[in-house]
Structure 1
């Protein structure tokens, strides 16, 4: 087996998915797949450095204008870029503009690192998200094309049956649980050429008895009141849960296990 490159630095670019919601830490912040990936990479390379510029709720235009040039200037070995999905979930979405902005991001980031990592985001279930599925799949076609053109690798989370399971999603039904983030970190780890620690991260989860009707309806009502209605309100008014928040980990610094997460969990979800 070919030895994978000993990458010495990682910069993560994106929105709430890369920030790590809803993988909550004891201090109230978020961990997430990028932190988990950085920890694994740091265990292999002394002095490994890590930055996470992700901020929840960011659209691809904001990611390009606020994060891409900063990430490119850091000169990291690996850059991960996940963005555009928030755009597809807006009432109005110009997919041509999304394509152009993603292209701009990739054209800036690919030459600035040894390996650019793109993703096809995980599948999600539910009638609200189902109506946006054609846009999501169009986004992933754009990602695949850009990766082929610019030598990036694509982590296919959309095709992973495990991540389509409702048990992998937090109560807001928009963000992965800690277990979901662990599986994403494993997927990126393997895509970068490292030996698998979990060969079955993508496989369907074992069946468990579904909750009863009353529990499901209670959960649906709570979800609508606490998460869906506020989320719709932000979409309609153009507001974002990340407004005013700084990057999670803005500087490319040596990674230390157990470092304090960047954002307080009390802020509303993306």
Structure 2
């Protein structure tokens, strides 16, 4: 299995919108995201790295498994990231065991083929938006199952859920579901550090400098919560009721292995 002294040659990313890169760039200029950023770090230290990103927004863990695992295996990666489950958390009938089953199936297949696999745990959404407090027990349950499944297959886990900085609003886009560019940068740094890649340390866990303006809390935050509900939560619920997904009509942005520009700044 490759390590820091054995360069990675083929990196494949599986997942949903976070891995696709929503919140980091846009449809016109292109999405970047933590997987692209991790690939750039890898390429800086491993010239000749090839990278594919199979992620598609809106996908449930079962869909990531059924749609992305076979193409990922065909690329014969020596490194893969598997990050999925948030879309399941938001569904009315969430089943942590069902989600973990699909994640573990991907862990097992990729590691059995010789790939090193990395994943991460998810932050408590109530620390990001108070309206998400009912989801907190679901996140705890899913994170525990991710750790257990990862342990059974030697999968590296970046414990992003355990550090207070992950709740800093500056790490999240305005929809509070996707990381901001800075958030994607921190996720990439967390995975790189967990993998023990050269040039990494735990600075991704450090708090940001104090904000220029104080964060609103209590009743002062109510107008912002109402705007968020109308702008993001309402449309999301409407899509769910209509049986639609944000990923309808979308395909993977990098379905094939290709070179990475290691000169791009972090």
- 1:222 is matched with which residue? 227
1:210 to partner: Cα distance:
1.6
Provide structure 2 residue ranges, at least 5 long, that are not aligned to the other structure.
Answer: none
In structure 1, the residue corresponding to 2:63 is in which secondary structure? helix
Q: Which runs of 4+ in 1 moved over 6 A?
A: none
Q: Relative to structure 1, is the Cα distance of residues 59 and 3 closer, same or farther in structure 2, using a 3 angstrom cutoff?
A: closer
Distance 1:81 1:108 in 2: 12
In structure 2, the residue corresponding to 1:136 is in which secondary structure? helix
Q: Relative to structure 1, is the Cα distance of residues 46 and 178 closer, same or farther in structure 2, using a 3 angstrom cutoff?
A: same
1:212 to partner: Cα distance:
5.8
Task: Pick one of 119, 143, 146 that aligns with 2:146.
Answer: 143
Is this contact kept in 1: 2:170–2:182, CA < 8 A?
no
1:3 to partner: Cα distance:
4.7
* 1:118-267 equivalences in 2 (<5 Å): 118-124=119-125, 125-197=128-200, 199-208=202-211, 209-211=213-215, 216-256=221-261
Is this contact kept in 1: 2:15–2:54, CA < 8 A?
yes
- 1:53 equivalent in alignment to 2:54: yes
Q: Relative to structure 1, is the Cα distance of residues 212 and 154 closer, same or farther in structure 2, using a 3 angstrom cutoff?
A: closer
1:244 to partner: Cα distance:
1.6
Distance 2:30 2:103 in 1: 28
- 1:19 is matched with which residue? 20
Distance 2:4 2:30 in 1: 35
Is this contact kept in 2: 1:11–1:51, CA < 8 A?
yes
Distance 1:249 1:215 in 2: 43
1:21 to partner: Cα distance:
1.1
Counting matched residue pairs gives 258
Distance 1:140 1:96 in 2: 11
Distance 2:248 2:25 in 1: 20
Distance 2:27 2:249 in 1: 23
Q: Tell me which protein shows more helix as a share of its residues.
A: 2
Moved more, 192-201 or 5-14: 192-201
Provide structure 1 residue ranges, at least 5 long, that are not aligned to the other structure.
Answer: 260-270
The alignment's C-alpha RMSD in Å is 2.3
Q: TM-score, normalised by structure 2?
A: 0.88
